[in-house]
Structures are given as C-alpha cells and as structure tokens.
C-alpha cells in the first residue's frame, strides 16, 4: 500500500508535478484572461462540435459521444507568453458527468504543437482541482492552453472553472513525501541474516534506537552510528543494527527519537511469495496468448495481444521496416519488453538467460507445478516452459536460410509509431515491423539458445537439438558479420537498444556454447577473448546489463559444470569473487547498504536492476565460497530495494507498506483509467535515474540527489517503467534469498556450528530419527500414493524436507498436505502451511497422484533434512 499522504496526493487527480509540489502558484503575473468566467466566455475558444456556455459561473460544454481522439474536442485559450527556463503553475477545477481522462496541454499554438506541459488528468463527476508545475523549455510569445476533452464513447458534460496560470520564477524544489525518517526493509529480515536500517536525522551524535514487537513490547535497544551526509541522497543519516534479534514475528518496528519505521517481519519464509510473483510477471507479459483468469485472476486476465485479431495487425507475418527485406517472419509469441509492446531480441536474451540461470542454480526448487503458467503439470519445469515462450520468439527472429545475413537475428520488432497510454495490447492498431539484424541480437540468441539446449535436454531432446542448431547457426553468422551494429537513432515506435561494443556478447555466447558442447572453437573464443581474466571488463562497476553481458558467461563458467581446466576454472572464479569483493565493499561503505556505487553517483535508467545484478554476482560468490559477507551484501541490497532507501519506498509492487504502484505500462494503467489494474504484485520499478530522461522527471525532479531521482508516476518512463530484464534478476535474487532460509545456505566444513552440518547435535533442525511409510495404488499409466513420515527421535523436527528419487519415469501431477517439487527423477516434499513441525513420536501424512509410462516401483530410500530415514 502506498503511504496515506502520498496516496492522497495522487488521488487528488494531481498527477505529474502536483503530487507533492507546493505551492500551486508560481511567483509572477496571472497569464490567463477571464479564468473564472466572470466576464462571459471571451477570450476562450472551443471546437465547433462542443458549443460552450457559462452555467452557474462555470464554462460548460456538451461533448458528443463517439469522438476518437482527445483532440477531437478542445476548449482553449491562446496568446500566453512563456519564457524559457522559467517556472509556471497551472491550476483549474473541472468536472465531467462521465469520468474521463482529459489531456491538459500548454503548447505551441501551431503545428508541430510542441508541448511544455502535457498531462493526462482524470476528471470525475465531483469538481476536482488539478494543479501542475512546469518549466518552459522555449520562449513563446503566444503559447496555447488546450483542454483536450474528446475520445469518450459516451456523451457527457464537461465544466471548467478557476483556470489560473502564473509564473516566471525559479523552478520550485520538489519535496517528495518520504514518510518516516526511519528506513527498514518493509518486507522483513531473515532470522539469521543481517538486520540493519538507516535513519535520517539532523543529529550528529548517536541516538537511541528501540525495536518493538507487534504488541509494542520493547525487544531490543541500542545506539545509532552517525554516518554523516550520504552523497547519494544528500541526507544526514545514521545506521542501526539489530542483527542479534532472531525471534520470528510480524509487526516489528524500530523507533528513533519518537519516529517509527514501517512494520516488518523477522522470519525465514519472507521471500517465498516474492520469487513466485517476480516470475509470474513473465506470464503476464506474454504476447500472442490469452492471459487466463484462472492463473492470474479476473483483474489481470486479457485477450491475446498481437495475435492477428483486428485491430491488431498480428505478429505472425511481420515485414521489414522501410522495406529493407523482401520476406516476412512469423514472430508471434514472446514477452512484451516492458510498458510498451515492443519485442527485442537483445533485451529478451539477457532476460531469458537470467531465468534459465535461476533454474540451473536450483532446479530442484523450480520444477513442474511450481508456477501459475498454462503448461503447469506437463512434466516440464514451469520455469523452462516460461523460458520456452521467449526462446521460441528469439529463434523466430532469425534471418531465413538463403537470405542475405542468413542466421543473424533481427534486432527487434515493434510498432511503427509510439502508442499513447493506455493502449491495450489487443487493441494496438499499429503496423508491426522488423528492424535490421544486428550482431548483438544474433549473439543474444546464440547464448540464450545454447543455455536452453542443455537445460531442455532432459525433457525434450528434439527441442534441445533445435535450440542448439539455432545457437550454432547464429554464432557462425555473428563470426561472419562481427560488427553489424543497431542504429542508436532507430527509436520511433520502440526503444533503440543500440550497443556499440559487442565483445561482451561474443564472450557470453562463446561461454554458453562451450558449457553446452565442450567444443574447442568455443573454448578458444572464451579463453582467447580480450575479456578473459579481466575482472573490470567482465564485471563493470555499476553492474552488468543488457548492454554489458560478459558477466553472464563468466558467472555460468564459474558455477555450471564445464570443460575448463582446474586452473582456468580458478581464474574465472577469482574474477567473480574479486568483483563481489568490490560490490560487498560498496554495500559496507554506504549508509543505505546497497552494493551499487556508480562512478560520479550517476544512477542509470533501470538502476534497481543494476543493484540486483550486482547482488547476483555477490550471491554467486557466496555459492562458490560459503563466505557470509557476500550473502550479507545481497541481503542489505534487498533491504534497499524493499524500503531501506532515501525515498522510503519499496520498489516492488505488493511488497511493503509503501510500495510503488504506478509503473509505466499500457495495460496496468490504473493511474490513468481506474477501470484498469495497477501492476501485479512482484513488478519491479526501474528506480532512480539521475539523468532525468523523461519530461515528467525533467519538469519535476530538477536538482534531485541521485538516489532520489524517482517518481511513482506512470508517465515517468525513465524512472518508473517495468521490464523483463529488470524482473529477471529480481526473480533470481528472490529465489536465492528464499533458499537461504535462516542459515547461510551451504555447509561450511570449517564451521563446527554451521546449521547446515547434518551432524550438529545442538541444532534442532538437523535430521532426527525418522521412519517413512510409502504406499502406492497403481493402475495402467497412473498411481496414487500416501506417505507417512514419523519422528522417531526425541526432538521436534521443523521445516522438514523429505527427498527421494524415482528409478523410473513417474511424474507427480497433483499433491495434497505438502508442497512437492519434482526435477527429473528427484522429488522433494515440504510442509504445507499447517504441518511444518513433526513432534517426537508424531507423524505427518501427505499424498499425491501421478502418471507413468511403463514399469514403476516405489522408492525405497528417503532423506529427511539431509539424513537417511528408515522405511516402514
């Protein structure tokens, strides 16, 4: 939920600058003539389809039904003088008998109608006062104020009053609502993980912090540590640390000097839902398929987009932009990139690769029937099903054999012109166009398809072979055309995603092809690369990204079985840990604990994904070494993403008390049209972008400190969009964090107290003596099984995990009383919500049904929390 004050600001219909900017007037003269209509209608004008009159002191117009565009009905005033660089405040009061989002423009009065202010404003039946502040970009002796009120299906009456435009002063300073100065991870903290927060205060000496539980009982107290002025926020801050508290519970708060944080949880399951929601984002973004209410709920269900039903022009027969080729491609499917309806091979590659890597890292946790996707229960892990949706799109973008540039991939496919917000994917009438092939896209395809090939091998060998062929064909084409770069100015109707350096894409693709095939050609391309053993090039400061992909190859070489020699493996692993050391130091150094410190504090477009990608490097280093300092930096990074930050916002919808909810999206556009949904839970906002790269950010955030250059506003696409390549590392990290539970996630042989040591007699979670009864009823092609697990020891067993392997092809299709995941022949059963602890002498029962072809046998070996059980 959004903080009450912030929500109130937005609900006032005061979009854009008005949400938190005061005052609503700017110093300078009134520039509107007769804004209160006390002297009739002069000098106001209107389009001839809406004759307007003054009624009860307001100017009212009857707008007919069925106009198409906002500008098909306008009320306006001309002759408004504006001076470049000066600040103006516009306000007005309006009502509409049928709710409508109008366009309020201050603009050039002639073609090309360049706007100084262009705001969608929601107007309803009750007169609402709307305010905007903007800074003029150009001198204009006679600008136009235009209320564009067309585009409604229904006829309605629009009334206007108290129109005021004042200005000519310095732009006001934006004052975001940041709520409490005490900043915490609003979701919570893992039981055994680090627990720290930040407080904004003028104090220069230590203050007392107090941790309370949900009942208000004081649980712990201590002293803050003054940190001086944090350069990313320009706030004077202290930090506090309550890591010693390990008592699970909801509703904890921290208080400093009478100011109290948002509530949070301490516990081990806090990241369970985040992983699944972050992964569900990809199903929501699917193109070419109906989004099923049974899987996402009514609010998010929708018809298939770009599936060839009018007015869509379909993605199954897409021609080349500017007639640059004479073939068409069937490129239906795939994921929409972001809030737009473009589909980009470059960005698709890294996104699908990071999902595949989440699966490859922990396939046992991410088997079939773990996600809400239509393919659930088909015997293939759901994450692979989701990845296949995109892999099929990537391979469909390959230039056909026999054509010039055969084997290369088209860079992207998108609308001929940008569409406005909202535009439903199934209502987008724009022509769709293939943009020219590029080496970067070709290598994205090669890398992602090579990785997919090795992961699909177990489930669909024919498909795996197809992927490998596509990958090898793409590689050969990239070698033949190593420097075909996308045009950085090709950004009409879709993003450019241009990339002037593809040595990193070569390294990544060679790494994946080598891991999958072991072939000498790819080994040579990896170890002979100029990037080999160059930590700074593989892992640039500021993080890897869609334009810097070598890290994806290095991470997989370091963590996935492959044919490098021991010495080479040591080299690439050292690159990972060296990079992670740098990011851990950045987390340690910063008052907000995040492992991201770009040069000159320049937070980039999508900075939250850069934070997360650095966390991926840290998590890999933790996996490789078991060193908890890496884990801690990942977790303090999550704290930043989920609320411990200069704006006191959780950047993930649905998580935390002050979560963002107005990300730039053409369907999840509730801020513009209340009948549309907000983004679904688990959607990551791009985050602060200190370069201010959209008009709303430019008009509002001028002078912002880098980590505060963000607005939860739907039109601020450079700070507040969603994209597949940002949610992918969120999903990766959520899976990692969920897997940590309350310990360090790996057995440390040097640590006698390691909770992962199954022989630690002091650890109540270590496997106790147990006995398993496993009884199956079988019929041709199927079975139904009941399992009983009894605790035969004398200590309670909590968070139990029973694991076994089938000797044959049995597939579990549904289950009850436990959560079951299956990866190949390996099965793990975990507690349902109500049977997490098995007391001494007690049992839990659970069951499942499944299918099998051919012979089937009951397993006869089981482990409980890592130790062997007896069989009954």
Q: Which residues bind ligand 9MR (CB under 6 A)?
A: 337-338, 340, 342, 495-497, 605-606, 717, 721, 723
* Distance from chain centroid for Cα 736: 16
Choose the catalytic residue: 721, 743, 744, 756. 721
Quote the least distance from Cβ 654 to ligand 9MR, whole Å.
20
Residue 113's contacts (CB-CB under 8 Å, 6 or more residues apart) are 105, 107
Name the active-site residue from 212, 410, 435, 664. 664
Distance of CA 408 to the CA centre of its chain: 29
What gap in Å lies between CA 569 and CA 575, rounded to an integer? 10
The single-letter DSSP state of residue 675 is: T
The answer to whether the beta carbons of residues 43 and 107 sit under 8 Å apart is no
Alpha helices, H only, 520-644:
520-527, 535-538, 550-559, 566-589, 607-625, 628-641
Nearest in space to 584 (alpha carbons), one of 548, 546, 627? 627
- Calculate the CA 344 to chain-centre distance: 17
751: Cβ contacts below 8 Å, ≥ 6 apart: 757
Nearest distance in Å: CB 532, ligand 9MR: 26
Nearest-CB residue to ligand 9MR?
495
Task: Report how far apart, in Å, the C-alpha atoms of 318 and of each of 353, 406, 443, 445 are.
Answer: 25, 17, 22, 19
* Shortest reach from residue 242's CB to ligand 9MR, in Å: 36
List alpha helices for 222-301, DSSP H.
272-284, 293-296
Nearer to ligand 9MR, 499 or 661 (CB): 499
CB of residue 231 to ligand 9MR, shortest distance in Å = 23
Please enumerate in sequence order all residues whose Cβ is within 8 A of that of 603, keeping only pairs 6 or more positions apart, or say none.
Answer: 232, 687, 688, 689, 690, 706, 707, 709
Minimum distance from CB of 176 to ligand 9MR (Å)?
Answer: 21
Asked if residues 294 and 702 have their Cβ atoms less than 8 Å apart, the reply is: no
Complex with ligand 9MR: residue 591 or 724, whichever CB lies closer: 724
Catalytic residue among 340, 386, 623, 661: 340
Residue 52: enclosing H or E segment and its boundaries?
Answer: strand 52-55
Helices and strands counted in the chain (H then E): 17, 35
Is-contact 450 468, C-beta < 8 A? yes
Pick 339 or 656: Cβ nearer ligand 9MR? 339
Give 133 or 441: the residue with its C-beta nearer to ligand 9MR.
441
Of 21 and 669, nearer to ligand 9MR (C-beta) is: 669
The verdict on whether 476 is a catalytic residue reads no
In the complex with ligand 9MR, which residue's Cβ is closer, 337 or 766?
Answer: 337
Q: How far is the CB of 687 from ligand 9MR (least distance, A)?
A: 11
Nearest distance from C-beta of residue 545 to ligand 9MR, angstroms: 7
Q: Which is nearer to ligand 9MR, 338 or 672 (CB)?
A: 338
Q: Is 699 a catalytic residue?
A: no
- We find the least distance from the C-beta atom of residue 866 to ligand 9MR, in angstroms, to be 42
Residue pair 842/797 in contact (Cβ under 8 Å)? The answer is no
Is 382 an active-site residue?
no
Neighbour tally for 461: CB within 10 Å: 11
Contact 61, 52 (CB under 8 A): yes
Cβ closer to ligand 9MR: 161 or 433?
433
The verdict on whether 414 is a catalytic residue reads: no
The DSSP call for residue 382 is: H
**Cβ-based neighbours of 686, under 8 Å, separated by 6 or more:** 605, 606, 607, 608, 609, 663, 718, 719, 720, 721, 722, 723, 726
Least distance to ligand 9MR from the beta carbon of 340, Å? 5
Distance in angstroms (rounded) separating the CA atoms of residues 313 and 429: 6
Judged by beta carbon, residue 281 or residue 605, the one nearer ligand 9MR is 605
Q: H or E segment at 450?
A: helix 439-456
State the DSSP H helix or E strand holding residue 218, giving kind and residue range, or none if neither. Answer: strand 218-223
Catalytic residue positions? 340, 664, 712, 721
């Amino acid at each position: 939920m959004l903080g009450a004050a912030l929500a109130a600001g937005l609900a006032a219909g005061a979009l854009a600058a008005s949400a938190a900017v005061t005052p609503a007037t700017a110093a300078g003269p009134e520039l509107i003539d007769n804004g209160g209509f006390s002297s009739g209608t002069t000098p106001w004008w209107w389009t001839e389809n809406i004759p307007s009159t003054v009624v009860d002191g307001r100017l009212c117009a009857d707008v007919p039904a069925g106009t198409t565009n906002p500008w098909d009905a306008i009320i306006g005033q001309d002759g408004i003088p504006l001076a470049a660089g000066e600040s103006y405040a516009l306000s007005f009061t309006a009502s509409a008998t049928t709710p409508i989002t109008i366009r309020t423009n201050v603009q050039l009065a002639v073609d090309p109608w360049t706007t100084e202010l262009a705001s969608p404003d929601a107007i309803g039946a009750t007169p609402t006062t709307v305010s905007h502040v903007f800074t003029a970009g150009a001198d204009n002796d006679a600008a136009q104020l235009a209320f564009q009120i067309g585009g409604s299906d229904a006829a309605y009456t629009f009334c206007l009053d108290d129109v005021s435009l004042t200005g000519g002063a310095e732009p006001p300073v934006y004052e975001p609502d940041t709520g409490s100065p005490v900043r915490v991870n609003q979701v919570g903290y893992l039981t055994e993980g680090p627990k720290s927060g930040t407080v904004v205060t003028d104090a220069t000496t230590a203050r007392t912090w107090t941790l309370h539980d949900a009942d208000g009982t004081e649980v712990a107290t201590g002293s803050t540590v003054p940190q001086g002025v944090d350069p990313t926020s320009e706030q004077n801050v202290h930090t506090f640390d309550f890591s010693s508290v390990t008592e699970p519970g909801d509703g904890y708060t921290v208080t400093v000097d009478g100011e109290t944080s948002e509530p949070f949880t301490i516990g081990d399951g806090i990241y369970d839902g985040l992983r699944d929601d972050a992964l569900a984002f990809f199903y929501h973004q699917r193109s070419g398929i109906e989004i099923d209410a049974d899987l996402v709920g009514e609010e998010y269900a929708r018809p298939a987009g770009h599936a060839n039903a009018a007015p869509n022009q379909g993605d199954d027969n897409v021609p080349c932009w500017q007639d640059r080729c004479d073939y068409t491609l069937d490129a239906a499917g795939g994921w929409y990139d972001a809030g737009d309806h473009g589909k980009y091979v470059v960005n698709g590659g890294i996104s699908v690769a990071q999902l595949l890597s989440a699966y490859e890292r922990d396939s046992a946790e991410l088997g079939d029937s773990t996600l809400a996707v239509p393919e659930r229960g088909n015997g293939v892990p759901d994450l692979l099903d989701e990845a296949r949706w995109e892999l099929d799109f990537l391979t469909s973008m390959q230039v056909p054999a026999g054509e010039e540039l055969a084997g290369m991939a088209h860079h992207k496919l998108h609308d001929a012109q940008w569409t406005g917000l909202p535009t439903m994917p199934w209502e987008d009438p724009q022509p769709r166009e293939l943009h020219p092939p590029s080496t970067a896209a070709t290598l994205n395809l090669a890398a992602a398809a090579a990785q997919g090939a090795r992961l699909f091998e177990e489930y669909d060998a024919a498909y795996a072979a197809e992927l490998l062929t596509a990958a090898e064909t793409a590689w050969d084409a990239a070698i033949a055309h190593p420097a075909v770069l996308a045009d950085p100015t090709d950004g009409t109707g879709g993003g450019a995603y241009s990339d002037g350096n593809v040595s990193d894409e070569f390294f990544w693709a060679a790494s994946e092809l080598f891991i999958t095939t072991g072939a000498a050609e790819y080994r040579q391309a990896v170890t002979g690369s100029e990037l080999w053993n160059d930590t700074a090039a593989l892992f640039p400061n500021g993080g890897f990204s869609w334009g810097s992909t070598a890290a994806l190859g290095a991470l997989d070489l370091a963590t996935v079985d492959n044919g490098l020699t021991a010495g080479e493996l040591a080299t690439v692993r050292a690159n990972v840990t060296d990079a992670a050391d740098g990011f851990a130091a950045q987390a340690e150094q910063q008052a907000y604990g995040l492992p991201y410190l770009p040069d000159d504090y320049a937070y980039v477009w999508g900075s939250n994904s850069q934070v997360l990608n650095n966390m991926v490097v840290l998590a890999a280093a933790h996996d490789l070494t078991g060193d908890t300092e890496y884990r801690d930096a990942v977790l303090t990074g999550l704290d930043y993403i989920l609320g411990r930050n200069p704006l006191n916002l959780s950047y993930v919808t649905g998580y935390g008390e002050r979560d963002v909810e107005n990300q730039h999206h053409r369907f999840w556009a509730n801020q513009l049209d209340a009948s549309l949904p907000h983004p679904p839970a688990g959607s990551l906002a791009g985050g602060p972008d200190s370069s201010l790269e959209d008009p709303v950010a430019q008009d509002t955030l001028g002078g912002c400190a880098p980590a505060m250059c963000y607005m939860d506003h739907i039109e601020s696409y450079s700070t507040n969009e969603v994209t597949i390549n940002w949610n992918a590392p969120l999903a990766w990290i959520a899976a990692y964090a969920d897997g940590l539970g309350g310990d360090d996630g790996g057995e440390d042989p040097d640590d006698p107290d390691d909770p992962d040591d199954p022989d630690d007699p002091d650890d109540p979670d270590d496997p106790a003596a147990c006995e398993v009864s496993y009884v199956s009823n079988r019929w041709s092609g199927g079975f139904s099984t009941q399992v009983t697990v009894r605790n035969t020891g004398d200590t309670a067993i909590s968070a139990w995990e029973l694991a076994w392997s089938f000797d044959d092809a049995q597939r579990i299709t549904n289950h009850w009383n436990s959560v079951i995941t299956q990866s190949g022949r390996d099965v793990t059963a975990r507690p349902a919500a109500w049977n997490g602890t098995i007391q001494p002498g007690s049992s839990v029962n659970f069951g499942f049904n499944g299918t099998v072809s051919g012979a089937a046998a009951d397993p006869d070996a089981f482990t409980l929390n890592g130790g062997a059980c007896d069989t009954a």
